[in-house]
Amino acid sequence: MKATKPPLIVRWAFLACALLAVSTASAQTKIVVTNYGVSANGMPFAIALEKGFFKQQGLNITEIITSAGGGTTMRNMMAAGVPYAEINPGAAIGAIQQGVDLKIIADNVLTVAEFAWFVKPESKIRTIKDLKGAKVGFNNPRSTSAALLQVLLDQAGLRKEDVQMIRTGGFGESLTALDINTIDMTPITEPLWSRFKDKFRAIAVASEVLPPMSNVVGVALTSQMKEHDKFIRGVVKARRMAVEFMSANPQEAGDIVARAYNIDPALARAVVKNLVESRTQGIPYWGTGQIHLAGLERTVAAQRSVGAITGEVDLMKIIDTRFLDEDIRAVVR
């Protein structure tokens, strides 16, 4: 008889049980950050680690667990039993809708300014409107790259059925697929964008074609909030300190990122400077954690278009601002 998978909510519950097997001491040395070491969203955590901002909050974080985005981050968080993760809003809300006792506690990256979409230099594709019949890459289901692709197609008057969507599994894999002609276009983020901008050609730049959209959020399991209050609060505070340090010291911050991400220092300094100065309709790229409701609503709409989120979402019911500093606790509407 053919075996069948248990319902998704049962699988989430099974993962949740793994929390009981993870020691509190071990869990409090780790956080999970989507695409850490690959994409710009996680750069403040590299700063917080090297500058000792975690230690200033009484935390002994020794490991940042990375993932390729989407549901992978959520699974890593639950399997490792860590109290805090940075994840894209679609995956977070999708997990909540499937029964995970999760709350959005910080709005970490407020725009998608680090995104661009690349083709090969000789490609006949000049704009998104030229994609009909093309093979286009995206990282993973429920990932930001999948949702943004749908937004771009909508803007160009194209349907999902007009293109062949190819799952690549990550940004590095996407560039390889583009290079060997497995796909015709791929999304890319900083710092890979700056590193390969002379090898490929950008046909769309997010800061020019998309409004402010919540990119990644800080989340915590409701069941761990009381026990790990100090830890969660400390991570949120240390990250805010890192963002403020990056704004004041972009060159030094770039050097720290270069070491953490294993990239050229000049490239890292340029990426940090560009994103620190980036404004999309007046909204910065890296946020302090304060919740910007309009950006979250736009992301929900985009994720709904790719099926990552279903039905209506009452954002205020899944947001918990208790871990933010008092001066940024109010939700920006």
pTM for this structure?
A: 0.87
Per the structure, the count of domains in the chain is: 2
Supply the pLDDT for residue 1.
44
Q: Positive or negative CA dihedral for 122, 127, 130, 134?
A: positive
- CB distance 64 to 49 below 8 Å: yes
pLDDT of residue 8: 55
Residues 267 and 303 occupy one common structural domain: yes
Domain containing 246 — which CATH number?
Answer: 3.40.190.10
Three-state secondary-structure class, residue 86: strand
Residues 160 and 76 in one domain: no
Whether residue 182 sits in one domain with residue 267: no
pLDDT at 287 over 50: yes
- What is the C-alpha R_g of the chain? 19
Contacts of residues 307-311 at CB distance under 8 Å and 24 or more positions apart, as own/partner, are 308/90, 308/91, 308/93, 308/94, 308/141, 308/142, 308/146, 308/147, 309/90, 309/93, 309/94, 309/97, 310/97, 311/97
Residue 138 β-bridge partners: 167
Kindly state the tokens that stand for 180. Answer: 């060997």
Instruction: Give yes or no: residues 171 and 230 share one domain.
Output: no
> Is residue 207 scored above 60 in pLDDT?
yes
125/22 same-domain check: no
Statement to judge: residues 262 and 319 lie in one domain? yes
pLDDT band at 91 (very low <50, low <70, confident <90, very high): confident
Q: How many helices and strands in the chain, by DSSP H and E?
A: 16, 13
142 falls in which pLDDT band (50, 70, 90)? confident
Average pLDDT over residues 310-321: 96
**Same domain for 240 and 190:** no
Q: Please compute the mean of the pLDDT values over residues 189-210 and round it to a whole number.
A: 95
3 in any annotated domain: no
Give the domain range for residue 144.
Answer: 115-209
Contact (Cβ atoms closer than 8 angstroms) between residue 308 and residue 142: yes
Please check the confidence at residue 14 and state whether its pLDDT lies above 70.
no
pLDDT band at 322; cut points 50, 70, 90: very high
Q: 106 and 223 share a domain?
A: yes
Q: What is the pLDDT of residue 74?
A: 78
Whether 24 contacts 2, CB under 8 Å = no
Position 225 confidence tier, pLDDT thresholds 50, 70, 90? very high
